[in-house]
Structure 1
Amino acid sequence: MRLIFVLGLLAMCCQVSAQTVGFHQQVIGQHSTRPLAVTIWYPGEQTGTAESIGENPVFYGISAIRDAVPEKGRFGIVLLSHGYRGNWRNLNWLAANLVQDGFIVAAVDHPGTTSRDHNPLQASQWWQRPKDLSRVLDWLVTESQWQPFLDSRRVAAIGHSMGGWTVMNLIGARFDRELFNRDCQKLPNPRTCGLAGEFGLDVPQPGEPDTLLKDDRIKAVVSLDLGMARGFSPSSLAAIEVPSLILAAGVDIGDLPQQMESGYLADHIPENKRQYRVYEDAAHFSFMQLCKPGAAELLDQEQPGDSIICFDGGERSRVALHQDMYEQISRFLKTVLKD
């Protein structure tokens, strides 16, 4: 009965969203050395049939109208960055809600670190991830079909896990390799330090920039249980002036304690520039989309251990957690990105 009730809530949510959420996908920079697959959710008119977007045997999708006529108006921009080996679907639940708040939301699949694209060379070019988001923003405000509907003064970036690390670069956090390696010698965490070689963090990489990756157009950032935060220099975090919302999972899935990741950000970013909240009953993957019944078993069949993606670890359902998270993010963005 509880499952039926939850699914009923989901259905009602999707019916409401379908009346206003448009959906579009395309590749930008097709002839460049780094083409980017971009997914857009936007306020649209009821000009087509709603479908379940991003649904598969494991995850629920969200209801939207593919290529709907855009609603007239001026809307703020939210850029989304997925975690390591994630994809644009992971934060679709949040994207649909933010459309209801009057945002156009753009997610990018970061080459080399997505679910179906594991490219060691691209993954090691760690600086490309923040640049991907800046490229998407460039395209949105200068070339895209949404250009007439954008308020480019109101731009936020939101990232989960490695995506949280990615968006922090955009507001001035600076990776310090010496600090990172020293910390990994002291605390050899397999979930962060163990990936240092794959991410190109342990030794200098060809083409690596020596300047900040900051994008001054970003006016707000939301970090969702990020990792590798201890590689950011304290001085660069102390100099951050862009308002930041740091959300963390209190249930440790193993070797990713929030006190040493999200807590590290909160300790070093000026208190008047950040908000910090720990969801004690959430785990790292609670920020991702909703799992279907039997999803954990399916995930383990494909890759033993992946069932952890559907683990939350507390009394509240992921539906309830998402509602709480969305309300927190919505209040933050409405406060910071005022008209």
Structure 2
Amino acid sequence: MMFKTRFLPLFVLLFCIQVYAHPGFRQITFSDQEGAVINVAVWYPTSSQGITEDVGENPAFTGVTVIRDALPTPGLHPLLVLSHGYNGNWRNLSWIAVAMAAQGYIVAAPDHPGTTTFNQNPAQAKKLWRRPQDISQVIDLMTKSPRLFGETDKGRIAALGHSLGGWTVMELAGARFDAARFAKDCLQQPLRGDCNVMQKLSIDEVPSQEKLSASYEDQRIRAVVSLDLGFAPGFTPQSMHGINIPVLILAAQMDSLANLSASQESGYLANEIGSRWGKYEIIEGATHFSFMQLCKAGAEALINEGSPGDGIVCQDGNGINRYNIHQKLVAKISAFLNSSLDFHSPADETK
């Protein structure tokens, strides 16, 4: 009996890996209300044993292993929607996508027009309010496409975002942005990373301020995860006091690398939301870029060759391995989401 009890957790882990060893994967596109094309990557549970391939890989970054266009597993699945950072893309958060798909989640990640690696159109970048709307439209698409991705459990929908993506998902949670408040704060902190892109995103222009002050809350979302977000000082305290869904706020310990102060960004968010709904933690050894995908050996130098200075995205804390950071993050994020959504993965059925 002691032998069985001692090794049960290992058996449960192996069972989960066996059921969803590699997620299904599809890429789709749709046009938003203004005609902008949005590319979406989707990972989802499958029991298929098809041909695997690595997606999201390039000379600098590692990819993740999937089964393209596999049949989805029957039954209801929670939905997690991801939002990348400024000029990032769906590949940046693929490490958490495959981990959550392995637990039974459908995971969808759009490329936000104007602020993605592959579309940096200045006019679209200035429509920052479109970002949370992108996520809401992706939720619409996922819930209407059970044959492609599996059936979404509409009572178990969550959103996760990194950097500007963190700002995006907080908008969806009910936080309201005051552009004038943010601009005033930047007068005191002109070198802060998010203040440096204020003009590029048109935050200091009156027409944008009116749009940004509106509510983009999506009440279908039941939990939110913010990874080292930016632009937090623009959120009004009143709106954050009104948030009534669980929020996990994770910040980088090495915040100076991207000039995003944990105390002024994630810390401010946590203080205003309060401990009833907010859970705040600083990730030891993590930089702002540790929340992105894994870099290959020599990637920093390779990136700097083509774009001097951008190799910083491969830097973590001294002696810290990004893979290990990701493993810790996966444990924290999955535990939070499973608890907040009251979801039990298929492996739990063996306990």
TM over 0.5: yes
Residue identity matched to 2:191 = N
Q: Deviations over 1:248-277 (max 9, x none)?
A: 001020421111111110110021101111
Partner SS state of residue 158, structure 2: strand
2:334 counterpart residue number: 330
Q: Deviations over 1:158-215 (max 9, x none)?
A: 0000000000000111111221111111221341112111112112236826531000
Whether 2:87 is the aligned partner of 1:72: answer: no
> Which aligned pairs between 1:131-170 and structure 2 lie closer than 5 A?
131-143=133-145, 145-146=147-148, 149-170=151-172
Separation (CA, whole Å) in 2 of partners of 1:209 and 1:175: 6
Whether 2:233 is the aligned partner of 1:230: answer: yes
Residue identity matched to 2:42 = I
Kept in 1: contact 2:294–2:322 (CA 8 A): yes
The worse-fitting range, judged by mean Cα deviation, of 233-242 and 190-199 is 190-199
Kept in 1: contact 2:131–2:168 (CA 8 A): yes
CA apart distance, 1:47: 4.1
> Which aligned pairs between 1:1-339 and structure 2 lie closer than 5 A?
19-29=21-31, 33-143=35-145, 145-146=147-148, 149-205=151-207, 208=211, 210-252=213-255, 253-339=257-343
Q: Deviations over 1:8-59 (max 9, x none)?
A: xxxx9xx979733100001012895122111100001224200011111011
Unaligned 5+ segments in structure 1 are 1-11
The change in CA–CA distance for 1:69 and 1:298 in structure 2 (over 3 A counts) is same
What is the aligned-residue RMSD (CA, Å)? 1.9
2:9 counterpart residue number: none
The change in CA–CA distance for 1:17 and 1:125 in structure 2 (over 3 A counts) is farther
CA apart distance, 1:143: 4.3
Kept in 2: contact 1:75–1:104 (CA 8 A): yes
The change in CA–CA distance for 1:107 and 1:254 in structure 2 (over 3 A counts) is closer
How many residue pairs match? The answer is 326
Separation (CA, whole Å) in 2 of partners of 1:315 and 1:54: 26
1:8 counterpart residue number: none
Kept in 2: contact 1:19–1:46 (CA 8 A): no
Kept in 1: contact 2:287–2:315 (CA 8 A): yes
Kept in 2: contact 1:159–1:167 (CA 8 A): yes
Separation (CA, whole Å) in 1 of partners of 2:115 and 2:146: 25
CA apart distance, 1:89: 0.3
Identity, in percent, stands at 44
Separation (CA, whole Å) in 2 of partners of 1:62 and 1:80: 16
Separation (CA, whole Å) in 1 of partners of 2:149 and 2:193: 40
Residue identity matched to 1:312 = D
CA apart distance, 1:141: 1.0
The change in CA–CA distance for 1:235 and 1:319 in structure 2 (over 3 A counts) is same
Residue identity matched to 1:250 = Q
CA apart distance, 1:142: 2.3
Separation (CA, whole Å) in 2 of partners of 1:52 and 1:329: 23
Kept in 1: contact 2:143–2:151 (CA 8 A): no
Kept in 2: contact 1:222–1:244 (CA 8 A): yes
Q: Deviations over 1:292-325 (max 9, x none)?
A: 0010111101111111111001333111100000
Separation (CA, whole Å) in 1 of partners of 2:236 and 2:39: 31
Separation (CA, whole Å) in 2 of partners of 1:30 and 1:126: 14
Partner SS state of residue 102, structure 1: coil
- TM-score normalised by L of structure 1: 0.92
Kept in 1: contact 2:179–2:212 (CA 8 A): no
Unaligned 5+ segments in structure 2 are 1-13, 344-351
Separation (CA, whole Å) in 2 of partners of 1:209 and 1:166: 11
Separation (CA, whole Å) in 2 of partners of 1:243 and 1:146: 29
- TM-score normalised by L of structure 2: 0.89
Residue identity matched to 1:213 = Y
Partner SS state of residue 334, structure 1: helix
The worse-fitting range, judged by mean Cα deviation, of 17-26 and 86-95 is 17-26
Separation (CA, whole Å) in 1 of partners of 2:32 and 2:271: 41
